[in-house]
């Protein structure tokens, strides 16, 4: 019976984080930074009401959109860019390479539930790893390396073409001399 009741609830509610285990947030000790999680509701029949709460790591992260560490969001059907704004603060005594993390629980339920329907709440936990360390240095390419390789390739190609042309010309002259004596 519960399967039949749940079969009417189809949703593609999701939470996207730009930071995860393979791509952690790296911050300097004492630094504060605002980041966002993205809520989306792409498939289904209803707009969704979502709540976000930091369940672990409250010492380094706080949700900026609500009160008392919890916030509510309206995520209309077909929308994929509702932001959960979070401020992350790296402790000033953090050592380089030290790992922190915080977890955000996002619960979502349809807004347009009819009377007599059971409320189905989805819960999604997103973990954001945070490392203390040096800022990522962006290397700006001047393009010099590319031009060096392109120039070397062009010179090598020109030499090969000249050698092949010389060999063909020489062979052509030898063939003419051979036929001239017959």
pLDDT tens for each residue of 7-19 = 444 557 889 999 9
The pTM of this model reads 0.64
The full set of domain ranges for the chain reads 2-132, 139-182
Give me 146's structure tokens.
Answer: 């590319």
Q: How many Å apart are CA 145 and CA 117, to the nearest integer?
A: 65
CATH 3.40.50.150 applies to domain 2-132: no
pLDDT in tens, 116-146: 455 566 789 999 999 998 654 444 555 556 6
Sheet of strand 25-27, all strands in order from the earlier edge strand to the far edge = 25-27, 122-132, 99-110, 48-56, 70-75
By the 8 A CB rule, do 46 and 112 touch?
Answer: yes
User: pLDDT truncated to tens, each residue of the chain (182 aa)?
Assistant: 334 444 444 557 889 999 999 999 999 999 999 999 999 998 888 888 999 999 999 999 999 987 777 899 999 998 899 999 999 999 999 999 999 999 999 998 888 765 545 556 678 999 999 999 865 444 455 555 666 777 788 888 889 999 998 888 887 766 666 555 55
CA gyration radius, the chain:
32
Question: What pLDDT does residue 114 have?
Answer: 55
Question: What pLDDT does residue 153 have?
Answer: 80
Q: How are beta strands 79-89 and 122-132 bridged, if at all?
A: unpaired
């Amino acid at each position: 019976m519960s399967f039949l009741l749940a079969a009417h609830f189809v949703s593609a509610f999701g939470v996207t984080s730009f930071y995860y285990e393979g791509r952690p947030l790296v911050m300097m000790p004492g630094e504060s930074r605002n980041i966002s999680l993205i809520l989306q509701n792409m498939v289904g029949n209803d707009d969704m009401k979502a709540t976000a709460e930091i369940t672990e790591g409250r010492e380094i992260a706080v949700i900026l959109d609500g009160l008392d560490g919890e916030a509510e969001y309206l995520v209309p059907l077909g929308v994929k860019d509702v932001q959960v704004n979070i401020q992350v603060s790296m402790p000033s005594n953090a050592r380089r390479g030290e790992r922190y993390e915080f977890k955000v629980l996002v619960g979502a339920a349809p807004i347009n539930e009819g009377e007599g329907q059971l409320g189905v709440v989805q819960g999604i936990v997103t973990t954001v790893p945070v490392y203390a360390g040096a800022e990522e240095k962006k290397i700006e390419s001047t393009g010099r390396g590319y031009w060096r390789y392109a120039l070397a390739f062009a010179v090598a190609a020109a030499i090969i073409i000249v050698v092949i042309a010389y060999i063909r010309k020489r062979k052509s002259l030898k063939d003419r001399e051979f036929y001239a004596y017959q």
